[in-house]
Structure 1
Amino acid sequence: MSAAALNFSLFVAQTSLTLDGLQQLSDHRLLFFFLFLMAYVFALCSDGLVLVVICTRHSLHKPMYVFVAALLLNSLLGGFAIYPRLLWELLWESGSVLVTLSACACQVWVVYTVGGSAFMLLTAMAFDRYVAICRPMRYAALVSPRTVKAVLLFCWLLPATMVLIIVLLAVCQPLCRSNINRLYCDVYSLNRLSCGGNAAQMSDVFAIFISIATVLLPVIFVLFSYSSILYVSLCRTRGSSSKALRTCLPHLLVFLNYSACTAVELLQRRLQGADQTASSVLTSVLVVLVPTVLNPVVYGLNMSAITGYIRRLLGSRKTE
């Protein structure tokens, strides 16, 4: 290892940051602990159950359900990056929490990679439904098993690489502050800790570029896909159009869920100052809780194929 790399590693390991978000929840710490615990346990059980059903049922080994399984697995990885440490801090910590810059950077990389991958996977789902409903004769050729594997790899590798670059830009800047008014680390807060200069401006510009590439462009494509699906469905018979719309409904609800949470997060971080701690903490709570609880409910209750297998699975266990 070179001397420069060694110095960088020591700098990252020895720099400590303070997460002040826990102080805002101190008066109701146990209440939030049980709230987050129930949400996390619910996500683990429900997402895990749907994943088991999709993996064990050969009839569900189709691109649509493969993308659903990938999205739920993606959600579990994101929850693992936030929930265990947050639950520990709510139970045992009484004030601000000290974290190393390296741990904060790792959390930022995982959380933002998972967020970007979620939008990419939702885009892949929209493309799958668009081809199945609007171009059914070409579905087998356009959505082949090889294509699905390549798309899944792309959906994870592209956000991971882009987020890694922005995280490295953020942690390489000289820091003039060390307090983050959040429950967890995020890129915006890391950039606000820096002393400014060209590096900070470059990091902000690259963050906007990543948001466009992994959020805005997928949103535009998803809206175009579902608009085309709606148009084609309205032109068909009532029975076939209602079936197509029911198939797309779970994906659309999850897409709206992610989009709303991301919009609230971006607007809150960009429009409000660093001193508004209460709103920052409230936003971070909602962004953590809402997708965790709603996504498995949407896929568990609105996809009849999965729901039917889950009922049979739970029913067989009760009769044993």
Structure 2
Amino acid sequence: MENANNVTCLTLEGHVELQKYRYTYFMITFTVCVLIVCCNSVVIAVIYTNNHLHEPMYIFIAALLCNALFGATALYPKLLIDLLSERQVTYYHTCLLQAFCIYIYAAAEFTLLSAMAYDRYVSICKPLQYSTLLKIYTLKKLLFVCWFLPCSENSVGIILTSRLPLCKFTLNRIYCENYSVIKLSCGDTSVNNLYGLFVFSVAMFSAAIFIIYSYIRILAVCLRNSKDFRRKALQTCLPFHFHYFFIEFLIIPPLFNPIIYGLKMHEILKRIQMLFSWKNGTRVFFLNFSVQ
């Protein structure tokens, strides 16, 4: 570890009183991880196996849940290993890979939500053109762009970070992320900082503006139509973003997505009920979900 070229390991020091609460942390984290995998997988399987749900709205939901599984895979396995290890260390290049995957997950959330906002905008504001504007070929292109852009943006960021010389080897984090790795460098990080600001401004901020604009247009159309139209339109929109922004970034993102979409989207909920229902004589027992 005399110089940056020979450094192979970084130490993660973001854990609080790990020796005292090691197994408590592990059990909580493991439970959350299992719930994330199970809940997301159930909704994805329901959408995949029901041809009736092979529509853009539900395909975007499945894509968002797949992205959640990707993000959870990037974070939880290494975190669980660290919780049971005496030393919380990671290889430098493994750290960059984890940061790359986590940033792709975060950026793809925004691009997928933008695509979902466009889907709802066309469905509600231009219903007669919906089948034309969102053909299966267009849907595939949108999904490709939703992951291609984050991969491209973050590839440049990680390459810029990997070229920096290291002079510190301790991360005050429980996982790797690009900005924290940059702070370990003793070189000039101005290019990295400018690029990070550019990506945030252009990619994240523009996606948020597009989502807000789309829903302003949707609300304007709803206000000009009947109460029944507003109810049906908002019922399909609320699970997509309003619940998302209040819950998604404040608690546990991959865990609440399947709950929000599974319980709020009537067609998905109905098929989940069928999946977990069973017959006992002449009685049929369903999971006690409330359908609104």
> How high is the TM-score relative to the length of structure 2?
0.90
Quote how far apart the aligned CAs of 1:168 are: 1.1
Cα deviation 1:30-68 (Å, max 9, x = unaligned): 222111111111111111000010001011000011110
* Among 185, 188, 191, the residue aligned to 1:194: 185
Quote how far apart the aligned CAs of 1:301 are: 1.1
Structure 2: which amino acid aligns with 1:34? M
Structure 1: which amino acid aligns with 2:102? V
* Among 108, 111, 116, the residue aligned to 1:125: 116
**Any idea what SS the aligned residue of 1:228 has?**
helix
The 2-side partners of 1:126 and 1:68 are apart by 12
1:190-269 maps to which residues of 2 (within 5 A)? 190-197=181-188, 200-253=189-242, 255-257=244-246, 260-261=249-250
Quote how far apart the aligned CAs of 1:26 are: 3.6
The 2-side partners of 1:26 and 1:150 are apart by 49
The 2-side partners of 1:50 and 1:317 are apart by 22
Instruction: Report the CA distance shift for 1:38/1:253 in structure 2 as closer, same or farther (over 3 A).
Output: farther
Cα deviation 1:62-109 (Å, max 9, x = unaligned): 00111100000010011011111111221x224x41111110010011
Quote how far apart the aligned CAs of 1:258 are: 7.3
**Any idea what SS the aligned residue of 1:202 has?**
helix
**Any idea what SS the aligned residue of 2:186 has?**
coil
**Any idea what SS the aligned residue of 1:156 has?**
helix
* Among 258, 262, 272, the residue aligned to 1:300: 262
Q: Which has the higher helix share?
A: 1
Cα deviation 1:205-250 (Å, max 9, x = unaligned): 1111111233111111001111111121121100111010010011
The 2-side partners of 1:47 and 1:313 are apart by 15
Partner of 2:164: 173
* Among 14, 18, 23, the residue aligned to 1:30: 23
Instruction: Report the CA distance shift for 1:31/1:259 in structure 2 as closer, same or farther (over 3 A).
Output: closer
Instruction: Report the CA distance shift for 1:161/1:254 in structure 2 as closer, same or farther (over 3 A).
Output: farther
Contact 1:20–1:183 at 8 Å: present in 2 too? Answer: yes
Partner of 1:266: none
The 1-side partners of 2:247 and 2:168 are apart by 31
* Among 145, 154, 160, the residue aligned to 1:163: 154
Alpha-carbon RMSD:
2.0
The 1-side partners of 2:244 and 2:128 are apart by 26
**Any idea what SS the aligned residue of 1:236 has?**
coil
Instruction: Report the CA distance shift for 1:130/1:26 in structure 2 as closer, same or farther (over 3 A).
Output: farther
Partner of 1:44: 37
Structure 1 portions without partners, runs of 5+: 1-9, 262-285
Structure 2: which amino acid aligns with 1:46? C
Cα deviation 1:274-294 (Å, max 9, x = unaligned): xxxxxxxxxxxx6xxx11222
Q: How many positions carry a matched residue from both structures?
A: 279
The 2-side partners of 1:257 and 1:111 are apart by 21
The 2-side partners of 1:26 and 1:237 are apart by 60
Contact 1:44–1:76 at 8 Å: present in 2 too? Answer: yes
Structure 2: which amino acid aligns with 1:86? L
Contact 1:109–1:167 at 8 Å: present in 2 too? Answer: yes
Structure 2: which amino acid aligns with 1:309? R
Cα deviation 1:161-204 (Å, max 9, x = unaligned): 1101101111210111111111100111011001132xx11011
Contact 2:158–2:178 at 8 Å: present in 1 too? Answer: yes
Identity %: 35
Partner of 1:291: 253
Partner of 1:278: none
* Among 132, 136, 148, the residue aligned to 1:145: 136
Contact 1:174–1:195 at 8 Å: present in 2 too? Answer: yes
